[in-house]
A and B are shown apart, each in its own frame.
Chain A
Amino acid sequence: MRRRLAPYALILPGGLWLAVFFVVPMLAMVSVSLQSGDLSQGFRQTFDIGNYSDMVSTYHTQLVRSLVYGLLTTVITIALAYPMAYWIAFYGGRHKSTYLFLILLPFFVTFVIRTIAWQFLLADNGIVLGHLKSWGLLPERFHILATGYAVVGGLVYNFLPFMVLPIYVALERIDRQFLEAASDLFASRSQVFLRIVLPLSLPGVFAGVILTFVPASSDYVNATILGGTGQVMIGNIIETLYLTNSQYPQAAALSSILLGALLLGIFGYAKALGTRDVMDATAA
């Protein structure tokens, strides 16, 4: 009897913590999103879904921008990460873990500081643009900061390792005998890649897509530090509504919309690819 209950006793404390501080809060957020009123008048539960339609019509520009930037970031990180992951997995030799460590190195620096360092590097008259301008290679008015390029660049920088790692893990797991068998059967190098390596590495790419698209499209740190006032993303709006304006119902509605859209996308995507595969690859 005691044996049978042991696993539940082990799961209970942490499970309760997650139930109270993760599952219940999601419900609390939906409940707040269905309230009306303001900070001075007080909030009442009215179950009015008007907040949702209001938020979509007011902030659709920022919503679309966030999804587009998230998508761009994901596509660019795949293009940048795949060749690297490939080289490390197949040519890394004894130094594989050293290369992976170097790729993870930015994570030892606070996310906010990393982003500020880019603000510094890309500053209008900073160490890069300043010199290029003084050499006459760039027009005096050229700038990168406060453009979409800077924001997407920052996002790509910050989330690239999340794409490299799962792709690397998937490539590393490929049984090398498959490749030998294929070339013994006179497959060309491109055939080996397209018909063996690429399909077997796709679970890693899919995991990488979740790990980069979700944080990139909901990020507001890069937009704040690198984007200036013209590159506002949905995260910035949620931040302002909650923390500056105290418009809690509206903020909660917007956050629920973002969460709903992303979760729907993730689960639809995981379902289409086989939930376990994606979950395993994401967790690895």
Chain B
Amino acid sequence: MSTSVAPTPLPLSDEAPHDVSPARRERTGGRLLRVYTAVVIAWLSLPIIVMILFGFNDTTSRFNFVWQGWTLHWYRDLFQIPDLTDSLVNSLTIATLTTIAATILGTMIGFAMGKYRVRGRAVLDLVLFANVAAPEIALGTGLLSLFLSLGIPRGYLTILIAHIMFDIVYVAITVRARMSAYDRSLEEASEDLGAGPFTTFRLVTLPILLPGVIAGALLAFALSIDDFVITEFNAGTTQTFPLWVYGSSRVGTPPQVNVMGTLVFAFGVLLVLGNVWLMRRARRSAAGAH
């Protein structure tokens, strides 16, 4: 990818001009860093392991703090707590609707910004950057202030509005980044070969755009289903999964929360790995075709 005009490197192997010790130091340094990285990754995974493990804990008290042995009880009684189930359903439907709306609106912005020279681009850039950089609590309280001023009651709909608002920005940025791979001359070539604008869009533009759109949509879904701060300020009495869990943290989190968290985790990981696998396969078959 690099286009810099660096002088041609001399055909020297790395080890030849040096004595042995720097190379050995490099190897020890690299090994130390490898161990360090492994330790930090293990530390990052610790809460995930705890969450998964204690979804299998045969606990009887309301506090799921002490290991009591294995059980599948909580998987069987996953939907035993109606409020919790409702909150998860809310989270899933909100994330789905948000993803659809934000992917469409955000892709349009990202595509336009990547393809055309638009007037007012600096303003749009500023809005996108401010939205990403501003603290979530300001986005949440700002929207709440608007709803309060207009006397709009908070609930499912206002959560949806809020999630679409912050997700549009992430989709737009993801798609715009992908547009750097976009080359206007490809579309021109397609038109020169007699393809109409729609055929060109379907066969040339869309395939270039698609990885960015899929990445943006996955990100939008993940951010929506996980959002706590902005949601809390605009939820009214409506509960989402993170809100319910936060409320339960004071009185003891039931093991069903661990199970639902585990299932959401597994679903997300499989989705991303599946996407990566599909992309690899597509790339390999594209490479094979040439």
Interface residues of A (CB under 8 A from B): 6-8, 10-11, 13-15, 17-18, 21-26, 28-29, 31-32, 80, 83-84, 86-88, 91, 97, 99, 101-103, 105-114, 116-121, 123, 126-127, 157, 160-161, 175, 177-178, 180-181, 183-184, 189, 210, 214-215, 217-218, 220-221, 224-225, 235, 238-239, 242-243, 248, 251-252, 255, 258-259, 262-263, 266, 279, 282-284
Contact = CB atoms under 8 A, between A and B. Distances in A.
8 contacts: A13-B108, A21-B165, A22-B127, A22-B131, A24-B146, A113-B245, A113-B258, A282-B133
Which of B40, B146, B242, B257 lies at the interface centre, i.e. has the most chain A CB atoms within 10 A of its CB? B146
Nearest to B106: A14
Give 10 nearest A-B pairs by CB, closest first: A117-B47, A25-B142, A14-B105, A218-B135, A7-B116, A87-B33, A10-B112, A259-B138, A177-B6, A28-B146
Contact of B134 (A11, A121, A214, A283): A214
A18 B48 contact: no
Given A7-B116, A109-B261, A189-B26, A181 B34 contact: no
B6 A175 contact: yes
B177 to A, nearest CB: 7
B142 A111 contact: no
A123 B267 CA distance: 29
A258 B137 contact: yes
Contacts of B133: 210, 214, 262-263, 266, 282
Nearest to B39: A84
A88 B118 CA distance: 38
Interface in B1-29: 2, 4, 6-7, 9-10, 12, 14, 22, 25-26
A10 B114 CA distance: 12
Which of A22, A126, A215, A251 lies at the interface centre, i.e. has the most chain B CB atoms within 10 A of its CB? A22
A251 B132 CA distance: 22
A218 B142 CA distance: 14
A217 B133 CA distance: 13
Contact of A91 (B30, B118, B165, B246): B30
B143 interface: yes
Given A84-B40, A87-B34, A120 B50 contact: yes
Interface in B61-90: 64-65, 67
B56 interface: no
B151 to A, nearest CB: 12
Instruction: Say what secondary structure dominates the interface of chain A.
Output: helix
Contact of B137 (A22, A32, A160, A238): A238
B106 A10 contact: no
B228 to A, nearest CB: 6
Contact of A28 (B129, B136, B142, B269): B142
Which of A26, A101, A121, A284 lies at the interface centre, i.e. has the most chain B CB atoms within 10 A of its CB? A26
